[in-house]
Amino acid sequence: MFIGNRAQELCCLQGNAQHVVVQNRIHQFRFLEEDKQRYRIARAFIYGKIRNQRSTILYFHKQKCSATKKAAAARLSDELGQISIQVRELPYTDKWNAVLMGLEGRAAASYWQVLGEYQWLGPTFHARIGRGAQDPTNQALNYGYGILSSVVWNALTNAGLEVYLGALHAVRPGKPALVLDVMEEYRAWVVDRAVIKLRSELKGDELKPKTRKKLTADILSTLSKPILYKGKKIRLESVIQRQCYRLCGMFADERKYRPLLFRW
């Protein structure tokens, strides 16, 4: 995967010796044809996302900060914990998608509101803005998500899956829905955490090249660090690859997919 200077995907280079198994894609397409199966995997992705948002805020809660910040982090942690339980226990109905996205939206609104109000993301951050952001913090977040996207894209391709067919994000031309789905559980721990660490440098009107370089180094360092995974210490980037293989297992109806939950 090649990315541009704003971390947008430019092209994907594939050889003729890929570990692509046609059967994996057949399983994926059949699995995602069923609404109840999409519900199962989408719920897992969102549960992982919210739990890891909680882990991220608790990671900074344990560090030295004001009593006001600590109290806000504790309240947010409790709220995210409660919402994650609602996601985990969400029953299947014909309106599961709207309910699930509503819970995800509540969690995201509280998460970004606290990070902004208490300046965990620096003085220029007021609200989460995606493409076209004019402030350095949102530019840093978008850049970091671009790096993460390239890693997840590569892992899904290695696993032999179709990146444009997902369970949670809508299928649209040019939109890598499965990449966006799988990214959810890693966004907060891999990218948001790195941006929060750099909050003192997020000033002015745009992301400085020097800060972008530091952000890239921090994200790549996180991806290369070993974490405990099923009783073994394994590099996070390799864990992401294994999680994509587990996703293949769920598509084949051989195993349950469990999101990766980070320890703070």
Cβ-based neighbours of 155, under 8 Å, separated by 6 or more: 182, 237, 240, 241, 243, 244
Question: With contact defined as beta carbons under 8 Å apart, do 138 and 128 qualify?
Answer: yes
Q: Work out the average pLDDT over 64-73.
A: 89
| Chain segment 126-140, per-residue pLDDT in tens | 999 998 899 999 999
Choosing among 3.40.50.2000, 3.40.1260.20, 3.40.50.1000, 1.20.120.920, the CATH entry for 2-251 is 1.20.120.920
pTM, two decimals, is 0.92
**Burial class for 191, CB neighbours closer than 10 Å (0-12, 13-18, 19+):** buried
State whether the Cα torsion 148-187-199-116 is positive or negative.
positive
Q: Is 208's pLDDT higher than 60?
A: yes
Domain borders along the chain are 2-251
**Helix 209-224 to helix 136-158 angle, to the nearest 10 degrees?**
40
Q: How confident is the model at residue 64 (pLDDT cuts 50, 70, 90)?
A: confident
Give the SS3 label for residue 2. strand
Q: Residue 125: what residue type?
A: F
Cβ-based neighbours of 220, under 8 Å, separated by 6 or more: 147
Q: Which two tokens stand for residue 38?
A: 């999409």
Q: Looking at the chain, how many residues does it have?
A: 264
Residue in the structure block whose two tokens are 């890598």: 176
